[in-house]
Amino acid sequence: MYILPINTRAKTTALKQPKELFTFNRDENGEFHYDPNHENINYYYFPNTKIDENIDLQSGFKNFKQIPIQDNLPNFKSFFKFLIEYEKENGKVSSDIVTFRGIMTRILSLPNNLSDPIDLYIVAYDGSLFVKLDDEMELKRQKDQDNRQRQTTSKEKYEFIKKCEYAGYKFETITTLKRPWADTSRSTIEKRNKKVVNNYEQFLSVIKTGIGKNKIVLIGEVDCCWNYVPDEKSKILSNYVELKTTRLIENNMQVVNFESKKLFKTWCQCFLMGITKIIYGFRDDNLILRNIEFYNTDEIPVMLKNNPLTHNSDKKVNCTNCLKWYGAVVDWLNDTINKQDETKSYKLKYDPNDRSFTVKEVSKERNEKLRNGELLSEEFKEWRQSLKNNNK
């Protein structure tokens, strides 16, 4: 077992500029497709004057097509299919770590979320560390939380919580288009309010990034783009937009909570993916959209730092601090785990009870399962094997 003290920080954080490798999507039936030409990306369109129309973000709640939690966990299988497609054209993607953005976000934001547990599996294969969630634990936690909410709150409150979740997807639906604005008819644009909301549809981007000396491949969902996807590959990520919703901010406490619970996490997500544009929709207690604000990702650390309300407070969020922690973790994982040893797999665990951050070898059984379907797919192993053979 290897332990990393929670207060470890990297000395410096040299960050690599993230670059997109390829993209794929999940359609409204939950099926994944390779999409290198960005055909399924959404386009942001919501003019300033429309905000004054007081759109109800809970309308259509009854028709919400929601994907079951168990089907919504990060999925390596489909990713590998498309990675193979990509590598066929462009050669092997070499990286120290390959994982999902959501997973990295948890690690990055840990110093600010010391009470949230983390449970991950790490499999070393073909020179990279593949990291996935402990799906069982994850599912259990989510279900437990749901049950708790159902039991401890009133029916209305519980429904309200669900509606708030829905409101997030609703916001995405009314502010985006499936095709560029010029190719979309007026009636399509104006009828978005009536459109059935579903969270099956997703657009995912696979990017290459890095911190310190470590190279990282991340897979993350992208909500939409700002008008177009640039032809120049290096500029693509900077035109993506992250959409979020939150409650109107009307007093000091709400500001502080917003910053630490929501804005910071959003920053982490976008920062990791190289997404530079963030749009927040503000809704009131009746779930009516009342305000929209736009932020550049790199504005946020400065805003957080300069907030007078959190001077000398333990609630203050320090992004640089988290980055240094993140750098330390990545360094540590790379130094600790032997990538060449493909007979073992590991569990990375953060336990909020004793604030321990540990990596432990898993059982032989578990290792077998992980390497044969649970994480690595047969298809992928065959492919990588064939590459090795060809190189000999």
Partner 1 sequence: MGVPALFRWLSRKYPKIISPVIEEDQYEIGGPKYDDANPNGEIDNLYLDMNGIVHPCSHPEHKRAPETEDEMFLDIFTYTDRVLMMARPRKVLMIAVDGVAPRAKMNQQRARRFRSAQDAKIKQDAIDAEIREKELRGEIINDAIKGKKQWDSNAITPGTPFMDRLAEALRYWIAYKLSNDPGWASLQVIISDATVPGEGEHKLMSFIRSQRSDPQYDPNTKHCIYGLDADLIFLGLATHEPHFRVLREDVFAQQSKRMTIRDQVAMTQEADELIQERDKKKPFLWLHVNILREYLAVELFNPQIPFSFDLERSIDDWVFICFFAGNDFLPHLPSLDVRDNGIDILVNCWKNCLPTFKDYVTCDGKLNLDSVEKLMAALAVKEDQIFKNRHVAEQRREERNKQRKIAEEQDKALKSVYLSQVSKGKEKAPLAPDINMPLMDTKGKMVEGYAKLTNNEIVENTAIITKANLANADAAAALKKLIDSKKNPINKVQDQINNDSPTSESETSESEVPESESTEDVTKESPKKRKFEEVEEETDDIKLYEPGYQNRYYEIKFHCKSEDEIEKTRKDVVLHYLEGIAWVSLYYYQGCPSWKWYFPYHYAPFASDFTNLKDLVPDGIKFDLGEPFKPYEQLMSVLPADSRHTLPKVFHDLMISEDSDIIDFYPEEFKIDMNGKKMAWQGIPLLPFIDEKRLLDSVQAKYKLLTEDELNRNINKQAELFISPRNKNYNKFHEKLYKDNEKEVSFKYAKSGLAGTVLKYEKFQPESILRYPLKEGNMPNVKNNEYFQTYYNFPEKKTGKSMILNGHISAIPALTTADKNNLIYQLSKPSHMSRFTTADENREYINTGPAGKELFKCYSMRRGGYRSYMINLQNGGMPPVQPRNQSYRNPRSQTFNNAQYNNNRYNNQQNGARSGYLPPRK
Contacts to partner 1 by CB under 8 A: 43-49, 51-54, 180-183, 185-186, 189, 226-228, 230-231, 248-251, 255, 258-259, 263, 277, 280, 282, 284, 288, 290-296, 299, 302-303, 305-309
- Which residue bears the tokens 């936690």? 141
Q: Least Å distance between CB 379 and partner 1?
A: 36
| 176-177 sheet: strands from edge to edge | 176-177, 43-44, 224-225, 240-247, 277-283, 289-296
Instruction: Report how far Cα 114 is from the mean position of its chain's Cα atoms.
Output: 19
Q: Least Å distance between CB 55 and partner 1?
A: 10
Q: Least Å distance between CB 217 and partner 1?
A: 28
For helices 264-273 and 101-108, the axis angle rounded to 10 degrees is 130
Q: Least Å distance between CB 1 and partner 1?
A: 42
Q: Least Å distance between CB 56 and partner 1?
A: 11
Q: Least Å distance between CB 322 and partner 1?
A: 18
Region class of 91: left (phi > 0), else alpha (psi between -120 and 50), else beta: left
The Cβ of residue 372 has, within 10 Å, a number of other Cβ atoms equal to 12
Name which of 155 and 186 has its Cβ closer to partner 1. Answer: 186
Q: Least Å distance between CB 110 and partner 1?
A: 24
